[in-house]
Amino acid sequence: MPIALALIGALLGALVPPVAYRLSVPYGEPARSACAACGTPLRWRPGRCPACHARLGPPVWLTALLGAVTFGTLTWALGPVPVLPAFLVVAALGVLLGAIDVACHRLPDPLVALGVGLAIPLLGLAGPHLLVRAGLGALTMAGGYLLLALLPGANLGFGDVKLAGLLGLLLGWLGWPAVLLGALLPHLLNGPVVLVLLLSHRVRRDTALPLGPALLAGAWLAVVAIGLSSRYLR
């Protein structure tokens, strides 16, 4: 089953680049409908612009790989449980959100709202009695990141706060250890990445880096770790 779900994840991941390219625009601007380099109308398939060969969105191998790895590991760690679809839906959206955040430092509200709108009923179907804890997890994660965002010189925005809320729903559904791990891991992950980028002169000290991918990766690792521990250590 993890292999089959990994293949579905790869397929969904492969659909991400053209969507991410259209949505990777500055705040308030409409989605792109043409190649930013030459104006050729976009088509709904991954790859380069047919006219000027500019790459349209992230490499398809990368998003397909991320889809396969997240779908495969989440299915492996959680097992064939009723709540699995909630986690896979948010994982697929997460690949898209991460790609957009890397491209233009934005986590579009409609996509995060879509994640919340899909996650709440899917979590509720799988375990209605856990929805209160899921809601508290969302408030804890969003509240924690809101405090960080309000600190002077903060390197995170309100998009990150809202994404933390969405991830907090899923982590809270799993339990408080998952919320704690999911809140801490992004910072542990981001530290070494920033250090490598600084040492290789890919970024400067004052470069604003997107936090979304670290939030998503931290939540993913937290779910896998908690899922595995509850399955195999009990």
Residues that bind Zn ion (CB under 5 A): 35, 37-38, 40, 49, 51-52, 54
34 vs 113, which CB is nearer to Zn ion?
34
Rounded least distance, CB 124 to Zn ion, Å:
44
50 vs 191, which CB is nearer to Zn ion?
50
**3-state secondary structure at position 43:** coil
Residue 207 φ/ψ region, left for φ over 0, alpha for ψ in the -120 to 50 degree band, beta for the rest: beta
Whether residue 58 contacts residue 13, with contact meaning beta carbons closer than 8 Å, is answered with: no
Rounded least distance, CB 27 to Zn ion, Å:
24
Strand partners, 41: 34
Whether residue 2 contacts residue 75, with contact meaning beta carbons closer than 8 Å, is answered with: yes
DSSP for 166-224 reads HHHHHHHHH-HHHHHHHHHHHHHHHHHHHHHHHHTTSS-TTPPPP-HHHHHHHHHHHHH
CA count, 13 A, side-chain hemisphere, 52: 12
17 vs 98, which CB is nearer to Zn ion?
17
Rounded least distance, CB 111 to Zn ion, Å:
25
What does the alpha-carbon distance between residue 210 and residue 204 come to, in Å, rounded to a whole number?
14
Rounded least distance, CB 40 to Zn ion, Å:
5
Rounded least distance, CB 53 to Zn ion, Å:
7
Whether residue 130 contacts residue 173, with contact meaning beta carbons closer than 8 Å, is answered with: yes
35 vs 88, which CB is nearer to Zn ion?
35
52 vs 188, which CB is nearer to Zn ion?
52
